[in-house]
Structures are given as C-alpha cells and as structure tokens.
C-alpha cells in the first residue's frame, strides 16, 4: 500500500483556474480545489505547512515538527500525511529521519486562485 500515490497535483489543479472573483468556478474545478483547502483548514496543519514553507534550507525534519506541538507523534504524522496526500508537501527519507519540503508553487497557486491584492 503505497501511501504516496500522487492524488492530485495542486500546482496543475490550481493553475487551470482563474481567481475565484474573476469568474464562477465550475463544479468539477471546485471538487478538485476544495480538498486542497480542506488540507489546510486545520490549525495544526496550517502551522505545519507554515513551518515547512518558512523553514530556512527548504526542508524540515519531522523530529523538529513534533516538538513544536503538544500532540502525540502519531497525530503529527497523520497531519503530515494529509498534507502530503493533498500534494502540498514532499517527503524524503534520509537514514532514520524524514524531511518535508513544500511543493513548489502549490501555495502560490492557491493564493492566486483565492485572490491576491491588485498588482
């Protein structure tokens, strides 16, 4: 059971759509985008995503992430899996440690879709 099937590529999913306020989203588009937002729509996962995305070096070790929360290790692992299954982060195992990186452009694409301030 590979848990790493690339369910959706958020970059591609989002790139196909103009901003929400430009024109009505089609039902199929909404069905593809909503899961990405759902993956972010949890305080813990939002902080995890922010920690991963803002970390200098472009990656974070899981061991550093678990320490940042008052939650059990399996719970953090679960949330990371949700972010990974949504295509928002990449995993790389090196030795005993696992490192997470933001998927390039996934957040930027979502930001553009939701709407950015006038250029």
Interaction site with its own copies (CB under 8 A)? 19-27, 30-31, 33-35, 37-38, 40-44, 46-47, 49-51, 53-54, 68, 102, 105, 107-108, 110-119
Cα angle 13-104-119, degrees, rounded to a multiple of 5: 75
The site partner of 92 among DNA, its own copies, none (C-beta below 5 to 8 Å per kind) is: none
The site partner of 101 among DNA, its own copies, none (C-beta below 5 to 8 Å per kind) is: none
Contact 77, 98 (CB under 8 A): no
Q: How far is the CB of 104 from DNA (least distance, A)?
A: 20
How far apart are the C-alpha atoms of 88 and 8, rounded to whole Å? 9
């Amino acid at each position: 059971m590979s848990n790493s099937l690339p369910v959706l590529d958020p970059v591609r999913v989002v790139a196909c759509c103009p901003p929400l306020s430009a024109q009505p989203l089609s039902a199929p588009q909404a069905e593809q985008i909503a899961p990405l937002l759902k993956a972010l729509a949890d305080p813990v996962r939002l902080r995890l995503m922010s920690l991963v995305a803002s970390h200098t070096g472009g990656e974070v070790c899981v061991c550093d992430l678990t320490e940042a929360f008052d939650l059990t290790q399996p719970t953090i692992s679960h949330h990371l899996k949700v972010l990974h299954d949504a295509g928002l982060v990449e995993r790389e195992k090196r030795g005993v440690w696992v490192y997470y990186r933001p998927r390039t452009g996934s957040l930027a694409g979502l930001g553009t879709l939701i709407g950015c301030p006038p250029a």
